[in-house]
Structure 1
Amino acid sequence: MRKRIWGWYFFDWASQPYHTLLVTFVFGPFFAGVAADYFMTQGLADEAAKAQAQVIWSQCLTIAGLIIGFSAPFLGAMADISGKRINWITIFSVMVVIGASGLWFMDPAGSNLWWMLASFGFGFIGAEYALIFINAQLPSLGTKKEVGKISGSGFAFGYLGGVFSLIIALALFVEQPNGKTLVGLDPIFGLNAAEKEGTRAVGPFTALWFMIFMVPYFLWVREPKGTGPRGTFGQAFGLVVTSVKNLRNRKSLTSYLVSSMFYRDSLNGLYSFGGVYAALVLNWELTLIGAFGIIAVVSAAAFSWVGGSWDRKYGPKPVITIAILVLILVCITVVGMDRSQIFGIAFAEGSNAPDIIFMTCGVVIGGFGGILQSASRSLMVRHTDPEKATESFGLYGLSGRATAFLAPALIAAATAATESARLGVSPLIALFLIGLLLLRWVKPQGDQPEWDTTASA
């Protein structure tokens, strides 16, 4: 059983660089900068070009979120019918590798922005699909009391993978304006800094990392061979419709799914736009954003482990509540600040105060974001029938992605309306508040009895 748990942890280690390097700290900000420069060459003013760059990044995440949200429950139901989760995870892993690898072809002049968004989105969808199936294996790894600790340790281990991959990328690949990496080296393998090949190489690097570190997962996470029939879409559709109808008899689960729908959407918005905010509002270079990422991800790893201990001691619901409150304060700080002021109080000319404040926000976002993700997965387990785990986590994926378009769409609308990348992230505050309000109807210990995991070991 212990080896199986460690194999399960390795999925987080393997997949985290897609989020750390590509979504948040390297490719996302790089894409935003390239897109903003491109739109300026098309005649847009500086702030309008930055706003438009944020809008198209939002649109990519919106479309990907819609695809994931409305297809995940059906895929989960098909997997539960056939009992062949590993086959599905293999397919989604191939999507991750293809999508990440394709980012090498990003044109620094911005001629292929939409193709790069398509490649990024393809891999992102694969990673999110795989995560739903990985989450569905959590109930088989421990008792109700143990899964919080296991979930937190998995996130902590994954974030460490994100840290190491980010350090490697910054030290060996990503070039500064002077053409050198963060440690003063030329980009490895003779990569051309003038063509941003070091930065573009984080795509193939992420794909290679994923392929290597998924090996322990496939070797150690064994499941009984599927003995059920080949799942059809009709069967899956019927199963999902029945599950959704049954929600009216499960007030706690329904409240939790809707609550998490809003607060997880807001958290994903923070992750997706944190690096973009730093690039567009604070004018940070990629290497500084990367250093910010290291700090944020290290704190996420540490806090996730601590959060798992809190979960085991106090249960997931109070942990979730505290994390949301802290993240609301962070959002208010970010919206109220730019390079010249915070809440109307001016900074001294040339002050590095906004950089220090945002670095601090990064620590809090990483730390309490990790806690929120871990505790949320644990609370879902307390509402999950182990016999229908993939279907249940498909619904969890639906709740997390049915409105995944909402945060990016609201950010896009607010950004377009205000022509400000800073004010554009303000809708995240409202999403967190709605999630916090709905959490009050959720039972702290869920609505499922204790389960026995020995059969799945």
Structure 2
Amino acid sequence: MSAATTSEPRRRLFGTREQVGWYFYDWANSAFSTTVVSVFLGPYLTAVTKAAADASGFVYPLGIPIRADAFFPYMVSLSVLLQVFVLPVMGAVVDYTHLKKRLMGIFAYIGAFSAMGLFFLDGTNYLLGGTLFVIANLSFGASIVCYNAFLPEIATPNERDRVSSYGWAMGYLGGGILLALNLVFFSMREQFGISSGDAVRISLASAGVWWALFTLLPLSRLQNRQPQRILPPGEHYLTVGFKQLGRTLRNLPRYPQTMLFLVAYLLYNDGIQTVIALSAQFGSEELGMTADELPPLFL
């Protein structure tokens, strides 16, 4: 069989070189979602916060009283709230400039190094953990905006469902593989003479290392292109995204089916994301599950 004959099925199956590079950013960043957000950080940060709490069970970041077991959920909410203000600006920047590859890399590495910094979360230093998580989660969301903006450029309309699905699949695979490796490491920690807390901190940092290393592949394969849209005269990157969002919301009543879909998506997606982010803490705090029982359940 000729080389031309064998290369064509491979191209159809996995896509172009640039598309394969795009898939790998999902592979890279999903380690943060699984290992950090879903499994290890919630229970561990809560334990650190409780160690810093007063006799009534409260901590006081910036003088604000917060129950120790509510600190991590508040950090999740804060990071999402900040995304509401940051992501529309990011959307405008990637639409009207050729900077999305550079910005994706910048935010990816800010997030990755913040995740690595969680290795130093111990004792009563709950503010360090909360701050690093907010930075990492905000950077994660900003990098995803840039990542998604590549899809119309690297895939034709007929290819987009397939390419997007491959990206999702690579994300689940990459996040699952690292979580499985961390599960094996955590279960064998005593054989290495490592405490439970140290094993958690190593697992948290490993997500940042994974994120940083595998981001190199999309950065090497994705290409910068000139923007397809020009910033309207008198507009600014800091405001044009919010104006576009406002126009879209004002026009939504003219499309009731679209509005129904978006409302439904908002409700079920936010519900699912909340369950994913807080279920490990719920299992630990409310169900009394141990650190050895939680990771296999999520995997």
TM over 0.5: yes
* Partner residue in 1 for 2:106: 91
Contact 1:248 1:254 in 2 (8 A): yes
1:254 and 1:133, CA in 2 relative to 1: closer, same or farther beyond 3 A?
farther
1:124 corresponds to: 137
Q: Aligned letter for 2:87?
A: A
For residues 99 and 144 of structure 1, what CA distance do their matches in structure 2 show? 36
**Counterpart check, 1:100 vs 2:115:** yes
1:30-49 to structure 2, matched below 5 A, reads 30-36=44-50, 38-39=52-53, 42-44=55-57
The answer for unaligned runs of 5 or more in structure 1 is: 46-50, 295-457
TM-score normalised according to structure 1 size: 0.54
Q: Is the 8 A contact 1:99 1:121 kept in 2?
A: no
Cα distance in 2, alignment partners of residues 68 and 117 from structure 1 = 16
Instruction: Supply the RMSD in Å over aligned alpha carbons.
Output: 2.8
1 CA distance for matches of 2:256 and 2:95? 24
Cα displacement (A) at 1:234: 4.2
Deviations 1:342-364 (A, max 9, x none): xxxxxxxxxxxxxxxxxxxxxxx
Match runs of 1:12-411 below 5 Å: 12-36=26-50, 38-39=52-53, 42-44=55-57, 52-107=67-122, 109=123, 111-144=124-157, 146-172=159-185, 174=186, 180-181=188-189, 185-186=191-192, 192-193=194-195, 196-226=197-227, 232-294=237-299
- Go from structure 1 to structure 2 and tell me whether the alpha carbon gap of 1:223 and 1:256 turns closer, same or farther (over 3 Å shift): farther
Cα distance in 2, alignment partners of residues 20 and 222 from structure 1: 28
CA contact (8 A) 2:89 2:239 kept: no
- Is structure 2 residue 17 aligned with structure 1 residue 11? no
Q: Partners in 2 of 1:28 and 1:170 — Cα distance?
A: 16
Q: Tell whether the 8 Å contact from 1:74 to 1:240 is kept in structure 2 after alignment.
A: no
Q: After the TM superposition, which segments of 4 or more aligned residues of structure 1 sit over 6 Å from their partners?
A: none
TM-score by length of 2: 0.80
Query: CA 1:244–1:79 in structure 2 vs 1: closer, same or farther (change >3 Å)?
Result: farther
Amino acid at match of 2:192: D
- Count of residue pairs the alignment pairs up: 274
> What SS does structure 2 have at the residue aligned with 1:284?
coil
Instruction: Write out per-residue CA displacement over residues 228-278 of structure 1, whole angstroms, 9 at most, x where no aligned residue.
Output: 579632444444444444434444433332221111110101101121122
Instruction: Measure the CA separation in 1 of the matches of 2:103 and 2:236.
Output: 12
Q: Distance in 2 between matches of 1:11 and 1:125?
A: 16
SS at match of 1:213: helix
Q: Do the aligned partners of residues 252 and 144 (structure 1) sit closer, same or farther apart at CA in structure 2, a change above 3 Å counting?
A: farther
Deviation at 1:52, TM superposition (A): 3.6
**In structure 2, what residue type is equivalent to 1:211?**
A
Q: Which moved more, 1:219-228 or 1:199-208?
A: 219-228
Distance in 1, matches of 2:249 and 2:100, equals: 22
Looking at structure 1, the residues matched to 212 and 68 of structure 2 have their Cα atoms a distance apart, in angstroms, of: 31
Unmatched 5+ residue regions in structure 2? 1-14, 59-65
Q: CA deviation at 1:214?
A: 0.8
Alignment partners' CA distance in 2, 1:186 and 1:272: 29
- How much has 1:8 moved relative to structure 2? 1.3
Q: Which residue of 1 aligns with 2:62?
A: none
Name the counterpart of 1:320.
none
